[in-house]
Amino acid sequence: MNGGSSCSRRILSARRVALLAAAVGGIGAAVLVIGPNFAPNADPFGISAQAQNLTDNAQQSPQRPVGFADIVAKVKPSVISVRVKMERKADSNFNEDELPFPPGSPFERFFHRFGMPNLPNRGKEIITGQGSGFFISQDGYAVTNNHVVENAENVTVTTDDGKTYSAKVIGTDPRTDLALIKVNGSNFPFVKLSDNTPRVGDWVLAVGNPFGLGGTVTAGIVSARGRDIGAGPYDDFIQIDAPVNKGNSGGPAFDVDGNVIGVNTAIFSPSGGSVGIAFAIPADTVRSVISQLRNKGSVTRGWIGVEIQPVTPDIADSMGLKQATGALVSQPQADSPAVKAGIKSGDVITSVDGSDVHDARDLARRIGTMAPGTTVKLGLIHQGQQKTVTLTLGTLPAEKVASNDESSPGDSDGDLPKLGLTLAPASKVSGASGNGVVVTEVAEGGVAADHGLQVGDVILEVGGNTVSTPEDVRKSLADAAKEGKHAVLFRVKSGEETKFVALPLGKA
């Protein structure tokens, strides 16, 4: 059926072409008949002369499609293949059926040859992986991804001319997934990081080591900027459609001037292969991180000391804000610069040094690029009033590991059917602290469930009021409804995290 349809389409196209030709022929015949001073050799519009000029010019200066060969010749020698070896504990319970091919399969030999990441070598305690990278200096400093060299016992690089060198990991930054490695030697070809922000639609070239096939070049355009893919708090990826696959990680994305606009890091792919959506770390982020790794082997970042979350339209409405912008402070951290500056839970940070904060991610990224000890001015909305505070940034501490412990629900003595919640005072729930109201049941498909509330969460405030009983929650909801609010702000402690959740009113 499909073949027949395709054939019909081809036939239909041919008929349309034939009809068009016939129509043109008919018009030509009419002109021949109607033209009063027709002369077979006349060319009143000079068309033949123009055509002859075009033909002569084409013969003198043959035109060819513009390609990327000159750029590739310039930048490709700076790109390296990165191969790592790391130890793993022998797993006597390893199931051979977990691999997609049987022992001795040609596929097994192929994948082992090209060092697919995380593929076990049967009977061995060493696994290998491959990625890409590029030199940024003549004396052998090179950039790659943290996930390429993380936990590596041994790192080797292969240059475009086939030479292999041992490499040392100088420093890594898991938060941005960047790493700096060093090869002993000199006179290595290197490339520069771009000073310009690429535009959506600009050409981009990706060069790397996909599937172990080193020195591979692909081309595409910048598809989008500022992508958040959930990789970390500083997500600000460039999206490109140049084909990128496993093994391209750590390789460069070039502009048409041969400058690096980003480091290829991730792909979006249901199949595991390229579907035209890849993500690169922007050059300005790379420059900032790699500079610190080169100078001191680690990255330090500025720190305010607040837990923040986005201001959603519901939250903005419940707080009486005109716009859903800025970063909502869900909880200041103890002994932090924020606490010393008087920042409170419920404040909305709207600007940094006079520059507007778009959302929570924007605030985290901007503060993270500043050095500890920097003095900054933060614009706030505090209890509905604009204010400015000045603070000195601390040093971002090591990431906390959140506890997975959950409070026991216990017996409930109050429910809020319109929100789909059943509540109990924390003082009556085993394992809970004495503050707030514990969520003991959440109705499936209810408003609370739709907004992420879970059994064991502790409601600390409703509409800015501290609550300790279900009746307190009801009263705060009633007050918000009388004030004409369409949503009310809940301050909720979920595990080790404290956050704000805006629940809409008046919905069953």
Which residue numbers are catalytic?
147, 177, 249
In this structure, what token pair is assigned to residue 178? 């960047």
In this structure, what token pair is assigned to residue 350? 């709207």
**Residue 361: C-alpha distances to residues 2, 56, 245, 246, 436 (Å):** 48, 60, 28, 28, 29
Distance CA 425, CA 43 (A): 97
Distance CA 208, CA 215 (A): 6
What residues does 81 pair with on adjacent strands?
132, 158
Whether residue 187 contacts residue 197, with contact meaning beta carbons closer than 8 Å, is answered with: no
**Residue 294: C-alpha distances to residues 146, 286, 326, 468 (Å):** 14, 12, 34, 52
Distance CA 152, CA 179 (A): 12
3-state secondary structure of 176: coil
Cα 281 versus chain centre, distance: 8
**Residue 326: C-alpha distances to residues 312, 341, 360, 366, 384 (Å):** 10, 18, 6, 13, 14
**For residue 147, which of 127, 182, 172 has the smallest C-alpha distance?**
172
Q: What is the CA radius of gyration of the chain?
A: 32
To which residue do tokens 């006179």 refer? 187
Q: Which amino acid is at 292?
A: Q
Distance CA 281, CA 265 (A): 7
Question: Hey, which bits of 216-343 come out as E strands?
Answer: 216-227, 237-240, 252-254, 260-267, 278-282, 302-303, 306-310, 327-332
**Residue 481: C-alpha distances to residues 148, 415, 450, 486 (Å):** 54, 18, 20, 7
Whether residue 152 contacts residue 146, with contact meaning beta carbons closer than 8 Å, is answered with: no
B/e letters for 368-395, b = 16+ CB within 10 Å, e = fewer, are bebeeeeebebbbbeeeeeeebebebbe
**Residue 347: C-alpha distances to residues 171, 314, 327, 389 (Å):** 37, 16, 8, 12
